Amino acid sequence: MKVLITGGAGFIGTNLSLDLLKAGYSVKIIDDLSTGLRGNIPVEAEFINQSITDINHIKEAIKDCEVVVHLAARGSVPRSIKNPIATHDVNSTGTLNVLEAARQNGSHYIFSSSSSVYGSNKTLPKNEKMVLRPMTPYAASKLSGEALSLAYAKSYDLPVSVFRFFNIFGPWQRPDHEYAAVIPKWINKCLQREEIEIFGDGEQTRDFTYVGNLVQIISSCISKKVLHPEPVNLAYGNNISLNQVITILKKSFPDLKLTHSQTRRGDILHSKNDPKLINSLYPEITVKNFEDSLVETIEWFKSKYK
């Protein structure tokens, strides 16, 4: 079976492509390298250096692929606030391009949405039946992608699987750009003996999800062609504060230094998933606990950036 991964040179795409290749799949990657890295792409994978905003390139890339895992996106809440049109072009229009190509090819289509679609809905834990209230252009673009994906499933009988990713972390995550996620950014700061900046008091919580668990889910979805008529939250009910992350980091970096800044506009204070649905669909997945996953990630960063 051949799998196309959009955004496959990014953090999640790299982990997924390595896993699929190891399992015997053929892998094709399309990525414009705007945030992904050419060096992340396995030599065994076929690579197309193009953007999903060009539908002709997507159609050409997908034509011999039974599955497309759509990871390509313009990420980051702050970046979407700074440039909402660019976010829409990639995350909404680009997603429509991938869907149309998948429809014409009859591919199983797997979409990566985001927990940010819950937005100002403060009820915890999150579940898939809750009202969605996006607060930022990024969140709105991801909700648009969800709606388009489900509409294609119903209108064209396209096999569709939609996941809402929560805060994914692990090896291969970039720490070195303006909109880097908090865990890789902090680990890198520790390695460089630089001060860590916390926006707010550090008591905000996230349902941090190890990329290894995500890859297991996506791989199982592909191999078993698991379909569900609605989006599925991909997180396991972690309720980890940023201060708890700091406490674990201090075990590896005792000289860690902190500074606090004002809370950023658009940031959600708390996020936690009810994993009932994900557990029912993928009961075979064994979930690694947060501290062990973070320590494994730290060790990977030490080996990569020492």
What is the full DSSP assignment across 44-95? Answer: TSEEE---TT-HHHHHHHHTT-SEEEE------HHHHHH-HHHHHIIIIIHH
Per the document, the length of the chain is: 306
The SS3 call for residue 241 is strand
Nearest to 139 by CA among 110, 119, 123: 119
**Which residues are CB-contacts of 280 (< 8 A; sequence separation ≥ 6)?**
none
Sign of CA dihedral 181, 22, 233, 124: negative
Residue identified by tokens 């029912």 is 280
Residues 164, 173 contacting (CB under 8 angstroms):
no
Please report, as a single letter, which amino acid is at residue 29. I
Q: At what angle do helices 242-252 and 290-305 cross, to 10 degrees?
A: 50
Nearest to 95 by CA among 110, 77, 83, 81: 110
- Residue 236 falls in the annotated catalytic set: no
Residue identified by tokens 């309720």 is 239
First to last CA, the chain: 37
**Number of Cβ within a 10 Å radius of residue 267:** 13
Q: Which of 25, 138, 152, 282 is catalytic?
A: 138
Question: What is the set of active-site residues?
Answer: 138
